[in-house]
Structure 1
């Protein structure tokens, strides 16, 4: 009996030990599974992060590329417009305008005294050292001939008119001058024609601001081939 009892106790001990080993193995298995799940989750999150970053970077690059392309297109359009304007001026320079008179051998001395001019309004000759500001300026009173002639030397077109010009004529011409650098406008009571367009050595008389030759004259002679001092300023001069 004693020996049987002892064996029974020993067998019972082995059963408990086996149970503990099984439990430990189960815990290790669960821990390994949890670690595997965690690693899979980490890998998935990393792939998602990489994917999102790739999309964001691609989007940024795409937007940046679009902005660069848009800027280039605008620059190209600007160059094309400038080239078209230059071509229009060149083409216009080769087309004669009916009624235009030209005058040669005009002196260009700077003087501070009054000058008697051969044309009315004058289109060249000796003139004041200070030009009349001509960046689209519309003067409502007569200006000094000597200052205006200096502006013509710089490539400006000077629009003059007398009392026969209608309010609509004056309005139309004023609007044209105001948006045209290297142009100016003023009344000229003593001129014979209703409206006179003046450039250096060049003059055209018209009866109405709607005459198509007005636009042709501006296109051809604003900073045109008659300009004596290309690139000279038309700003910061006399104002009357």
Structure 2
């Protein structure tokens, strides 16, 4: 029994480490592409400066006319979610219903706090073991959950020892993040895409279980997507 669990844990750690290396490789390729693109842009500006100015002017006029209707949900305040939480025997609350995944650039009114899904900002919150000392934007954090992250949140009623212990766990866990969150029903809450649980302390067995199940778990809409290069501290 113990051997099976150890093998499963080792396989999971190896899988996360492999994704981490792949992510770093993608970042290196992306940086190279950005440099190449910048060179092309500079050359284009030098060669076709006047034509480019005229073109940008025309494009700006068209964009101004089309802005209102450009991303249907771009001006939406609603999360696009529908449904409710169902609580399992282990205390984990699972969202039963629709969790929208449209990118929006405005604030979103979520039906749950912290949110476990819904329309969100196009830029994710860095979630590579990042611990934030100040509250973060829901819309960016939800995007991190879409990438398979577990989000640990706490209020000022949480014991400092628990906050410190959870922060230490997050720091050594890729695809996780942590931040203070005033508007939640309990001092300590763990969230993943479509799932959420309240824990009593950092030593609550549900902490390890939730991380093992939902860090890049089966609920992840975009497994392997980056947890770096988004919104920084």
Q: Scaled by the length of structure 1, what TM-score is found?
A: 0.61
Residue equivalent to 1:188: 181
The CA deviation at 1:87 is: 6.8
1:102 and 2:94 matched: yes
The CA deviation at 1:107 is: 0.2
Q: Supply the distance in 2 between the matched residues of 1:83 and 1:180 (Cα, whole angstroms).
A: 16
Unaligned runs of 5+ in 1: 1-80, 90-95
CA 216–83 in structure 1, closer or farther in 2 if over 3 Å, else same: closer
Residue equivalent to 1:198: 191
Q: Supply the distance in 1 between the matched residues of 2:110 and 2:8 (Cα, whole angstroms).
A: 38
- Asked which structure has the greater CA Rg, the reply is 1
Does the aligned pair in 2 maintain the 1:97–1:213 contact within 8 Å? no
Q: Scaled by the length of structure 2, what TM-score is found?
A: 0.63
The CA deviation at 1:190 is: 1.2
SS of corresponding position for 2:98: coil
CA 97–158 in structure 1, closer or farther in 2 if over 3 Å, else same: farther
Residue equivalent to 2:132: 139
Residue equivalent to 1:208: 201
Q: Supply the distance in 1 between the matched residues of 2:114 and 2:195 (Cα, whole angstroms).
A: 11
1:173 pairs with one of 166, 171, 174 = 166
How large is the Cα RMSD of the aligned pairs? 2.0
Which is richer in helix?
A: 1
1:227 pairs with one of 220, 223, 226 = 220
Which is richer in strand?
A: 2
Q: Supply the distance in 2 between the matched residues of 1:190 and 1:152 (Cα, whole angstroms).
A: 18
Q: Supply the distance in 1 between the matched residues of 2:197 and 2:223 (Cα, whole angstroms).
A: 22
The CA deviation at 1:82 is: 7.3
Residue equivalent to 1:59: none
Residue equivalent to 2:123: 130
Q: Supply the distance in 2 between the matched residues of 1:201 and 1:237 (Cα, whole angstroms).
A: 21
Unaligned runs of 5+ in 2: 1-5, 15-87
